[in-house]
Amino acid sequence: MDFEKIKKSVAAAAKRAGVTEYELYFQQSESVDASAFRNELQRFSSSVGCGVCLKCMAGGRMGYASTEIFEPGTADELVRRAKENALLIEKDEKAFIYEGKGNYVPVADNTCALPGSEAVTAAALKCQSSAYAANPLVSDGTQCGAFAAKNTVRIYNSYGLDLSCVTGYEAIYAEVLETLGDETNTAFEIGLGALDSIDTSRVASIAASRAAARFGSGKVKSGEYDVIFDARRARDILETFCSVFFAKTVQTGMSLLKGKKGEIIASECVTLIDDPFSSSSPVNASFDAEGVPTYKKNIIEDGVLKTFLYNLSTADTDNTQSTGNASKASYAANVSTSPYCFYIASGEYTREVLFKKAGNGIYITEMKGFHAGADAVTGDFSIESAGFLIENGKQGAPVKEFTVAGNFFEMLKTITAISDTLEYSAPSGSTQFGAPDILVPGMSIGGE
């Protein structure tokens, strides 16, 4: 797909159809991925995908149509479909094509090519052998791999706005399986960075020791416990409930934060930040999916809700400005909302102090089934978990097969302490989540 050609032919087709306000959104994504089984390469895959989405105004509404195939006649067909779809929309919310005002902070384009198949394959095999070397319990079924991804976004609209952004990253991952007698444990770790410079043995040994630490897990009795959520799990909880901070969710009555702007919604130790230029994220963005410039902002500041995340339409509904958080789940998707590097700011306590503060309780390191056990509308969650006892301020024996239940909104208010460590997830789209370890007293644990 040649975006320059598509621009020209869609502009001509729009003119023929009498469409004056429109935007073209083009996305090309490339990736390579290799994974190992035993000490051999098992799979190698590569993909190139690209598509273009036209959105246009007709009858005061916005319609979308998209395609991955651009043949003679496609431009006229795209305009016809987008216009037809616009005329069926019934919502009150206004729609906009962005004129291109504001300050676009430059972000370094990642224009280098993806690593070749040899480099990706070698990194996967190296990680796999590191995993077997890390612990004698590591067994067949262990699957380590390497991948690299590159994403190009182009936006062009009828105001002449013409933007381009290229992001990319490389990573290795270790999915370790360990067996001892009848017991099997698995653990996962991922490392971001250039394939030839990631500390492979560190990634593999973290996964291996995580799995090893789980052997001989006991059960816990049901009851209320003080809980430390490991940074990785605090991050998962944040990801699960992040939509409650989207203006759209609030405006449609699906978020219990409605009407809470400026109010205390969390403990004073909680600050939640959205940063499109985070140095920890490989997917920085200077503009959002509507072409609006991005900026860093606090969502929660010392416990107080400062803003929701807006795109052009939801900002208009609340009579405010877009926060530059328009996003598209794929080139074909309607505009929605998402954060960039979205993280809970680190606190003042070292991990040791956090455990001392907890005294006795449970340190939760594994949680599974968020899509089943959590409801962002109500804030309720009940998640299958595993972790370790906290005994006299220290990490104790491993425990498993219990659920931790609570409510996200209540939990925000009851967090008593936050660690000074911050861990980030692998990016998904232009979003990355981050959190420190957090201490929450009185969580409901369902065990024996």
Partner 1 sequence: MVSREIIEQALEKTMSGGADFAEIYIERTKTNFINMLGVRVEKIGDNELCGIGIRAYKGLRSVYASTCDVSRAGVMKCASQVAGCVNERTDAPLIRLTERIFPDVHAIKIVPSGADKRIKTEILRTAANAAKQYSDVISQVSSTLVDVDHTVWIANSDGLWCSDRQVRTRLAVVSVASRKGENQSGMCGPGARMGLELFDTTDPAAVGIEASRQAVVNLNADYCRAGKMTVAIENGFGGVIFHESCGHSLEATSVANGASQFCNKLGEKIAGDKVTAVDDGTIPNAWGSVNIDDEGHPSQRNVLIENGVLKSYLVDRFNARRMGTVPTGSARRQSYEYEPTSRMTNTYIAAGPDKNEDIIASIDFGLYAKSMGGGSVDPATGAFNFAVNEGYMIRGGKICEAVRGASLVGTGSEILRKIDMVGDDMQFGQGMCGSSSGSVPVCVGQPLIRVSELTVGGR
Q: Give the residues lining the site for partner 1 (CB under 8 A).
A: 1, 37, 40-51, 63-69, 81-82, 84-85, 88-92, 117, 139-141, 143, 177, 184-186, 222, 252-254, 256, 332-334, 368-369, 371-373, 375, 377-378, 380, 382-384, 400-403, 405-406, 444-448
Nearer to partner 1 (CB atom), residue 380 or residue 391: 380
Distance between CA atoms of residues 309 and 297, nearest Å? 10
Where is 76: in which H helix or E strand? helix 74-88
If the CB atoms of residues 12 and 88 are measured against partner 1, the closer one turns out to be: 88
- Phi (first) and psi of residue 192, to 5 degrees: -100, 150
CA distance 393 to 195: 39
Distance CA 407, CA 398 (A): 25
CA distances from 365 to 48, 214, 256, 264, 385 (A): 36, 10, 28, 29, 8
Shortest reach from residue 53's CB to partner 1, in Å: 8
Nearer residue to partner 1 within complex by CB, 239 or 275: 239
Shortest separation between residue 39's beta carbon and partner 1, angstroms: 12
Residue number, 44 or 295, with CB nearest to partner 1: 44
CB of 49 to partner 1, least distance (A): 5
Q: Are 135 and 142 in contact (CB under 8 A)?
A: no
**How many whole angstroms separate alpha carbon 132 and alpha carbon 170?**
22
Bridge partners (DSSP) of residue 436 are none
Q: Which is nearer to partner 1, 107 or 405 (CB)?
A: 405
Contact 147, 170 (CB under 8 A): yes
In contact, 386 and 399? CB cutoff 8 Å: yes
Which amino acid, one-letter code, is at 383? I
Which of 293, 406 has the CB closer to partner 1? 406
Rg from Cα positions in the chain:
24
Would you say 54 or 354 has its CB closer to partner 1?
54
Q: By C-beta, is 320 or 336 nearer to partner 1?
A: 336
Q: Are strands 272-275 and 297-301 parallel, antiparallel or unpaired?
A: antiparallel
Q: Which is nearer to partner 1, 89 or 166 (CB)?
A: 89
Least Å distance between CB 402 and partner 1?
8
Pairing of strands 361-368, 432-435: unpaired
Name the minimum Å distance from CB 348 to partner 1.
30
Question: In angstroms, what is the minimal distance from the CB of 349 to partner 1?
Answer: 27
d(CA 235, CA 425): 8
Residues forming beta bridges with residue 38, ordered by sequence position: none
CB of 330 to partner 1, least distance (A): 9
Shortest Cβ 216–partner 1 spacing (Å): 14
Structure tokens at 246: 């989207």
CB of 443 to partner 1, least distance (A): 9
